A and B are shown apart, each in its own frame.
Chain A
Amino acid sequence: DIQLTQSPSFLSASVGDRVTITCRASQGISSFLAWYQQKPGKAPKLLIYAASSLQSGVPSRFSGGGSGTEFTLTISSLQPEDFATYYCQQLNSYPLTFGGGTKVEIK
Chain B
Amino acid sequence: QVQLQESGPGLVKPSETLSLTCTVSAVSISGYYWSWIRQAPGKGLEWIGYIYYSGSTNYNPSLKSRVTISVDTSKNHFSLNLSSVTAADTAVYYCARVSGAGSGMDVWGQGTTVTVSS
| Interface positions of A (Cβ within 8 A of B) | 1, 31-32, 34, 36, 42-46, 48-50, 55, 87, 89, 91-92, 94-101
Q: Which residue of A lies closest to B63 (CB)?
A: A95
Give how many B residues have a beta carbon under 8 Å from the other chain's beta carbons.
Answer: 23
Check if B102 sits within 8 Å of A46, measured CB to CB: no
Contacts of A99 in B (CB 8 A): 44
A31 to B35, CA, bound (A): 20
Closest Cβ of chain A to B57, distance in Å, is: 11
> Known contacts A44-B45, A100-B44, A101-B44; is A92 also within 8 Å of B102 by CB?
yes
Question: Which residues of B, 89-118, contact A by the 8 Å Cβ criterion?
Answer: 94, 96, 99, 101-106, 108-111
Contacts of A98 in B (CB 8 A): 44-47
B15 interface residue (CB < 8 Å to A): no
A1 to B59, CA, bound (A): 13
> Known contacts A98-B45, A98-B47; is A43 also within 8 Å of B111 by CB?
yes
Check if B111 sits within 8 Å of A46, measured CB to CB: no
> Known contacts A49-B99, A50-B102, A92-B102; is A44 also within 8 Å of B108 by CB?
yes
Contacts of A48 in B (CB 8 A): 104
Closest Cβ of chain A to B22, distance in Å, is: 12
Closest Cβ of chain B to A90, distance in Å, is: 9
Binary flags per residue of B29-43, CB closer than 8 Å to A gives 1, else 0: 000000100000000
- 27 CB < 8 A contacts A-B: A1-B61, A34-B103, A34-B105, A36-B45, A36-B104, A36-B105, A42-B110, A43-B96, A43-B108, A43-B111, A44-B108, A46-B99, A46-B105, A46-B106, A49-B102, A49-B103, A50-B102, A87-B44, A87-B45, A91-B102, A91-B103, A91-B104, A94-B58, A95-B59, A95-B62, A98-B45, A99-B44
